Amino acid sequence: LHRELSRSLREELDLGGEAANALRFARESAGDPGVVVPRVHPERSAGRVLCLERIDGERLPDWLAACDGRGERGLAERDRLLGILVRTTSAQILERGFLHADPHPGNFLVVEKAHGPELAILDFGAVLEIPVARRHAWASLVLDGAARDVPRTIALLEALGFSAGGDRT
């Protein structure tokens, strides 16, 4: 636990690494509609300073809480935004293999646009790279689980590092 916390803290405090992560995330998310990533200002950044574009938006939990009060339009916008969140998270995990690894509500803003809300993703101090073989295993896990192939699902869970003790039927 100590080793992992130390590693994670060093990663979070590496602003040069965070800038590189933000640049990569923006590049890889460029074709993902509805996703906003703050632009890095390298000319204003240094070893202990990271300058990013300011994004004006509403905190995700506050925006979601207000959706019910906006009637049918609010519910449709909520569904659109949550669709963006699910789609971009799935793409990070299963397609790109480069994952924002600190997805708490404070790292998301909702940006209102004329065509509907967009999701701004913030804070790239913690990211995770997922190798191709592991991404394929996760995709297979979803498909085998949906097909109710219990033996294959258990085998994949074990291959991914989960313990599948107990009854295997």
Q: What is the tens place of the pLDDT at every residue in 144-155?
A: 989 999 999 988
pTM of the model: 0.83
- Residue 47 pLDDT: 78
Tell me: the pLDDT tens digits for 7-24? Answer: 778 777 889 899 999 999
> For residue 74, what pLDDT is reported?
95
Q: Mean pLDDT across the chain, nearest whole number? A: 91
Confidence class of residue 166 from pLDDT cuts 50, 70 and 90? low
Tens-place pLDDT, residues 78-105: 999 999 999 999 999 989 999 999 999 9
Distance between CA atoms of residues 126 and 76, nearest Å: 31
Q: What is the mean pLDDT of residues 71-82?
A: 96
**Residues known to be catalytic:** 102
Position 165 pLDDT exceeds 80? no
pLDDT at 143 over 70: yes
Residue 133 confidence (pLDDT) above 60? yes
What would the pLDDT profile of 38-50 be if each residue is shown by its tens digit? 999 999 988 789 9
